[in-house]
Amino acid sequence: MSTDDKMVKRRRSALRGRQLEPAVLSELRDLIGDERVDSSLRDRDRLIEHLHVLQDADGYLSMPRLRALAAFMNLPMAAVYETATFYAHFDVIHDEQAPPPEITLRVCDSLSCQLAGAGALHEALADGADPSQVRVVLAPCMGRCETAPVVAVGQHHVGNATVETVGAAVEQKQIQPDDIHWQKLADYRSVGGYQLLKDCRDGQVTVESLAEELQQAGLRGLGGAGFPTFRKWQAVRAEPGPRYAVINADEGEPGTFKDRYYLEREPHVFLEGALVSAWAVEAKALYIYLRDEYPGLLGVLKDAVAELEAAGIVEPGFVILRRGAGAY
């Protein structure tokens, strides 16, 4: 083979597949930040967060955006694509596809909603929708089983949904979550809130004494294992650092919506307990994973954490919120 033939072969090989568009990468940096300045933006645990930024900006995930994100994070395109297509709340649009319409109706198909007639409701909404304006899809549990069937109109959840109530929300373009009235930091502290955390940090309460109280109280995790909390503390403290505290605020079992109920009303009760646990295991950071079906609650937790940072109760960046994306 001649030298010219080898060069042509190399050029053709280099051009296989879709190519990264520099302009798209530049737009990506405007949305997310510049990874050349802040290398932490390339950390793998930021992938879903970055996908949310792109989905929120465009209403979907285009393939050029995903290719740019793969280059941005120095990840294989397959890893980015597989993550984006796994989750129900990410809308991946291939190069030959048209973007989805402005409004998406997600009909919950959990067991509770199915028993309340979600199947017939989904069929009726799909039959009556103008596909150029509204898209109707099935979606996983939305954590609102007490008001089944539930339909998400954008990020606005319609409980005890009917074709008429959903249609009214669409007509009014009511796509943002409802306002949530919650106990602010000042009100929580006025009834003794964060005194336990202060006593722990000041040495008035020891890890051992608190663990003994937890043992006597029989406090357990409410997951499948029902693992005693005091033993979990002991097991984590026995391991070398760095250590992290991680809260999984995702509940998808039929009839389970207790976490949302309390978190929307008294987030600081939860945050103090989480911070005491983080103190007990000497955690370097506290991660809170919140399901994406709770967009209003995400705003509440962001505001509550901001209150803690402003009051000097936690260092900025110690509490890290992570969004789910419609799958457990």
Q: Is 260 exposed, middle or buried (0-12, 13-18, 19+ CB in 10 A)?
A: buried
How many helices (H) and strands (E) the chain has is answered by: 15, 9
Tokens 């994973």 sit on residue: 289
- Write down the pLDDT at residue 251: 80
- Write down the pLDDT at residue 319: 98
Helix, strand or coil, per DSSP, at residue 320: strand
- Write down the pLDDT at residue 15: 40
Question: Comparing C-alpha atoms, which of 74, 65, 77, 75 is closest to residue 16?
Answer: 77
In whole angstroms, what is the distance from residue 67 CA to residue 78 CA?
10
In whole angstroms, what is the distance from residue 323 CA to residue 49 CA?
7
Q: What is the mean pLDDT, run by run of 10 residues, along the chain of 328 residues?
A: 49 52 92 93 94 94 95 95 94 92 94 96 95 92 93 96 97 94 98 97 95 93 81 93 92 82 96 97 96 94 98 97 85
User: What are 280's two structure tokens?
Assistant: 């007990």
Is there a contact between 143 and 106 (Cβ–Cβ < 8 Å)?
A: no
In whole angstroms, what is the distance from residue 88 CA to residue 106 CA?
10
Q: What is the dihedral of CA 17, 23, 24, 26, to 10 degrees?
A: 130
- Write down the pLDDT at residue 252: 76
- Write down the pLDDT at residue 11: 43
Q: In 97-228, which ranges are continuous DSSP H helix?
A: 111-115, 118-128, 163-171, 185-190, 195-202, 207-217
pTM beyond 0.85: yes
298 HSE (CA, 13 A, CB side): 17
- Write down the pLDDT at residue 258: 86
- Write down the pLDDT at residue 3: 52
